[in-house]
Amino acid sequence: MKQPTRAWLVLAQAYVRVPELVRLQARFGSIDEITAAPASALRESGLAAEKCAAISAPDDGPIDAALAWLEDEGHHVVAWGEADYPPMLTEIPGPPLLLYVNGDIDALHMPSLAIVGSRNPTEGGVRNAEQFSRHLAARGLSIVSGLAQGIDTAAHRGALRAGGATVAVLGTGIDRVYPSSNLALAHDIAAGGALVSEYPLGTAPERWHFPERNRLISGLSLGTLVVEAARRSGSLITARLAAEQGREVFALPGSIHNALARGCHALIRQGAKLVETADDIFEELQPLATHAAQATEPQEPVSVQIEDDEDYNALRRCLGHDPVGIDELEKCSGLTIDKLSSMLLILELHGEVESLSGGRYALLS
Amino acid sequence: MKQPTRAWLVLAQAYVRVPELVRLQARFGSIDEITAAPASALRESGLAAEKCAAISAPDDGPIDAALAWLEDEGHHVVAWGEADYPPMLTEIPGPPLLLYVNGDIDALHMPSLAIVGSRNPTEGGVRNAEQFSRHLAARGLSIVSGLAQGIDTAAHRGALRAGGATVAVLGTGIDRVYPSSNLALAHDIAAGGALVSEYPLGTAPERWHFPERNRLISGLSLGTLVVEAARRSGSLITARLAAEQGREVFALPGSIHNALARGCHALIRQGAKLVETADDIFEELQPLATHAAQATEPQEPVSVQIEDDEDYNALRRCLGHDPVGIDELEKCSGLTIDKLSSMLLILELHGEVESLSGGRYALLS
């Protein structure tokens, strides 16, 4: 992390929100200058006294603990305005100031789909969640979910089995796992994607965190798929947030005798897209993924030029008819994984490239 | 029928369409005056020469046969502009000039729901069709369908089991039943509702009749419910026609692994209302039904009296435990073959008579 990490941790611990940060930056300049300012000066910017005190005289214990946690491999914090901050979260209301990440930050920059649903699904629901996740992760989407039992677990597992990326957004501190039955899964996710939390280290799984956390599940994603959900359930909150964030909402229909299809049917009546196959979702997200990729690269032209583009030609030279993993493509092309993912998606859309299991790609034609 | 029946049959046999009829009426006045006019005068109204000839010099054979058919109890024709013409059909494009009806005309004036679907449904689909039909028929809706195997059959049966009304719209002449496996069902429908056809007596089940017929299934109804349907199926034609007629379209969702849910899902994506319970439909139709009910006059339901009926007793005297052919029964009883057929089927349904090969019958008990 290039920015002054301690200063970010101080601001996060003081519960400074993004609009407040923007006002502070306008007045003081850098993050370091904000944390170096006396409480009285901070007060003049309109910040609440409690927050001013927490910035000018921070509790060092938790901050030192976080810095110690950051020493470990794969542990990161990403902060508002930084290059590694997830671009999709810059577009939502109430973006987090700081995210704790355990795993691969690139997973937060890939085109993503949230898959959520009941903690007590039917066997068919579990199977559907896992199959959709596996199929779409293999095609280059990062699968975002909430590490709960049931559909969330199946969604994460499906992506991991495809050798794809998956992101679990926690309602606890990044150093805790809830439910504890998913400890092994959390470990696998950190290795094959990322665990993410906006809560300070050690935060317990409070019930009210989960709806708040859900805005990040939908917010990180181009769309949210609800697999099975009762009429009143957290999954419907995530779907509602997705709609409010201007993201796609997908729902799987089911038998009228399946109580866990009711939530999905309610969403479909409200305008969610009814999907029968993973391809239904892929077709909807493909153009958005292209668009999102452009939005994160403002220097790129508005229309995607892939014919005589230097980067695309570099990528083409690295691809062959034998499947190649994305890591090899990174080394060969010198492009970032983030950029490669969106370029590969665009080439797939143009029928030049085939996406294979295990995040491997091959030239078609 | 109070209007000059023969004249109507002549016009129907000449394939006169409703807009043409309206022009003829404006010029000639009554139906009788139209059929009494010379072909040259008819030509002046712009009617095709072939139709003019068919009106001024009609083929009497089929018309006499239809008049003979009309002698039997429960046999009717209802014609455009008459009080007993189904009011819902006056609102659709291409209304039939004439309908042949076997049963209770009142069933065509009740608030109605069409229930249609696959000829090869799943067991669950059959159960759903029957339950929705039973529930809604018990609440006063007439259930309209097409007498096909599968969902149609379940829909008719459900209404009959509720003691409610049901209407089968045929793609054949009213005196024919297709498929023949539904002969007993057809007789139950004639007794507990109505069989309806716009085709002349004796018309065979030509494939091209069925899509044309479907406009009457949807057209008689406030809405059409599709229970199970493959992606390409006649049920989707009926649903499309319903939408074009400005009627409601309802579809039952199902598992994404059920191929017969695909047609329903396609309809839902196109804007059909996803329904989970019969109440979902009732709530939508109730305000429409109240509106439609103002045009109808409630009457006593038709019930079949076979115990002390003179004709049935005459037939019983001709039957014995040795098989008897229908021709002998005709001579013995003095009843028409057509009437005998339906009476024999009703007796068969009641367990009094056994039907044997070669069109022969014997008393059971």
**A215 neighbors A96 (Cβ within 8 angstroms):** no
Structure tokens at A120: 């007590």
Strand-strand pairing, A360-363 and A353-356: antiparallel
For residues A82 and A79, give the distance between their C-alpha atoms in angstroms, rounded to a whole number.
Answer: 6
Where is pLDDT greater, at B113 or B305?
A: B113
* pLDDT at residue B302 greater than cutoff 90: no
Q: How far is CA B180 from the centre of its chain?
A: 15
* pLDDT at residue A138 greater than cutoff 60: yes
- Choose among B196, B276, B197, B263: nearest CA to B229: B263
Q: Residue type for B147, please?
A: L
Q: Residue type for B115, please?
A: I
**Does B254 contact A at CB distance below 8 Å?**
yes
Sign of the dihedral defined by the CA atoms of residues B200, B204, B205, B207, in that order = negative
Q: What is the pLDDT of residues A20-66, one digit of tens each?
A: 999 999 999 999 999 999 999 999 988 989 899 999 999 999 999 99
Q: H or E segment at B184?
A: helix B183-192
For residues A98 and A119, give the distance between their C-alpha atoms in angstroms, rounded to a whole number.
Answer: 28
Mean pLDDT for the stretch of residues B213-219? 95
Question: How would residue B348 be classed by pLDDT, with cut points 50, 70 and 90?
Answer: low
Vertex B71 angle, CA B70 and B77, to 5°: 20
For residues A286 and A292, give the distance between their C-alpha atoms in angstroms, rounded to a whole number.
Answer: 10
pLDDT of B338 reads: 58
Contact A274 B253 (CB under 8 A): yes
Q: What is the pLDDT of residues B122-173, one digit of tens each?
A: 999 999 999 999 999 999 999 999 999 999 999 999 999 999 999 999 999 9
Contact A274 B254 (CB under 8 A): no
Mean pLDDT for the stretch of residues A129-157? 97
**Choosing among B274, B281, B284, which should be mutated to test the A contact, i.e. which has the most A CBs within 10 A?**
B274
Structure tokens at B24: 């003829």
Q: Residue type for A263, please?
A: G
Q: Worst-scoring range by mean pLDDT, A263-272, B203-212, B262-271? A: B203-212
* pLDDT at residue B325 greater than cutoff 90: no
Region for residue A264 given its phi and psi (left: phi exceeds 0; alpha: psi -120 to 50; beta: otherwise): alpha
- Choose among A130, A112, A344: nearest CA to A245: A112
pLDDT of A231 reads: 87
- Choose among B76, B110, B78: nearest CA to B97: B78
DSSP 3-state of A103: strand
Distance from CA of B129 to the nearest CA of A (A): 12
Question: How would residue A110 be classed by pLDDT, with cut points 50, 70 and 90?
Answer: very high
pLDDT of B358 reads: 60
For residues B114 and B249, give the distance between their C-alpha atoms in angstroms, rounded to a whole number.
Answer: 9
For residues A324 and A330, give the distance between their C-alpha atoms in angstroms, rounded to a whole number.
Answer: 10
**Does B24 contact A at CB distance below 8 Å?**
no
DSSP 3-state of B17: coil
**Does A254 contact B at CB distance below 8 Å?**
yes
For residues A256 and B250, give the distance between their C-alpha atoms in angstroms, rounded to a whole number.
Answer: 13
For residues B168 and B219, give the distance between their C-alpha atoms in angstroms, rounded to a whole number.
Answer: 13
**A48 neighbors A15 (Cβ within 8 angstroms):** no
* pLDDT at residue B300 greater than cutoff 50: no
* pLDDT at residue A320 greater than cutoff 80: yes
Please name the residues in contact with B122: beta carbons below 8 A apart, sequence gap of 6 or more: B228, B258, B260
Quote the percentage of chain A above a pLDDT of 70. 91
For residues A135 and B260, give the distance between their C-alpha atoms in angstroms, rounded to a whole number.
Answer: 23
What residues in A contact B265, CB-CB < 8 Å? 253, 274, 276
For residues A115 and A137, give the distance between their C-alpha atoms in angstroms, rounded to a whole number.
Answer: 11
Question: Tokens 């008719």 belong to which residue?
Answer: B156
Q: What is the pLDDT of residues B42-59, one digit of tens each?
A: 999 888 888 999 999 999
Question: Tokens 């010379």 belong to which residue?
Answer: B38
Looking at this predicted complex, what is its ipTM? 0.73
**Does A253 contact B at CB distance below 8 Å?**
yes
Question: How would residue B359 be classed by pLDDT, with cut points 50, 70 and 90?
Answer: low
Region for residue B83 given its phi and psi (left: phi exceeds 0; alpha: psi -120 to 50; beta: otherwise): alpha
Provide long-range contacts, Cβ within 8 A and 24+ apart, for A262-265. A262/A229, A262/A230, A262/A231, A262/B276, A263/A118, A263/A226, A263/A228, A263/A229, A263/A230, A263/A231, A263/A232, A263/A233, A263/A235, A263/A236, A264/A226, A264/A227, A264/A228, A264/A229, A265/B253, A265/B274, A265/B276
**Average pLDDT over chain A, rounded to whole?**
89
B111, exposed or middle or buried, with CB in 10 Å at 0-12, 13-18, 19+?
buried
**Average pLDDT over chain B, rounded to whole?**
89
Using only C-alpha atoms, chain B has a radius of gyration, in whole angstroms, of: 21
Instruction: Nearest chain B residue to A259 by CA: give it.
Output: B276
Question: Tokens 């220097």 belong to which residue?
Answer: A299
Please name the residues in contact with B185: beta carbons below 8 A apart, sequence gap of 6 or more: B147, B153, B156, B157
Mean pLDDT for the stretch of residues A81-106? 95
* pLDDT at residue A284 greater than cutoff 80: yes
Mean pLDDT for the stretch of residues B297-323? 69
pLDDT of A365 reads: 64
Distance from CA of A261 to the nearest CA of B (A): 9
Contact A254 B252 (CB under 8 A): no
Strand-strand pairing, B248-251 and B223-226: parallel
Question: How would residue A300 be classed by pLDDT, with cut points 50, 70 and 90?
Answer: very low
Most confident of A250-254, B15-19, B41-45, B301-305: A250-254
